[in-house]
Structure 1
């Protein structure tokens, strides 16, 4: 139950952060997974001029604050799946 509350709180924080993003950017939360002090978020970040990005973020939270984070950004469709993995995934 604590992890669900943490994931919900994290989603609220992402939405608050979206309000501080400069013009043209927005965030669409696709998924949040929380386990104790570790939170993983998958978001879509569309921009009218630069296109649509997908971001996987890994966060460490201590005392209600982010103390560590790592993000991986890609453009939708920019990284084609290798043929050996085709049967394991479906295009987004």
Structure 2
């Protein structure tokens, strides 16, 4: 997901019940062959979801295939870079923090 999320970054994700699956957002999912992945949702096609990376050399969606809904773990809320920086991927962050307190 570079340059949006660095290769060594940690991500925090939230349950999909809070946010649903809006296209264009970043998600964590488990791929049957490639393992745990962080990619951007491009859309839905039939029985699965199409994900893409932000980097031009990312694995192509055609190679990844469709990801079943049950394999999507959650929507990325923020990432923590190696240098200590934090980046929010859900705006407004205030809304997310309020949800966490409920």
TM-score, with length taken from structure 2: 0.25
Higher RCO (CA 8 Å, separation ≥ 6 residues): 2
| Largest Rg, 1 or 2 | 1
Greater strand fraction, Structure 1 or Structure 2 = 1
More helix by share: 1
Q: TM-score, normalised by structure 1?
A: 0.27
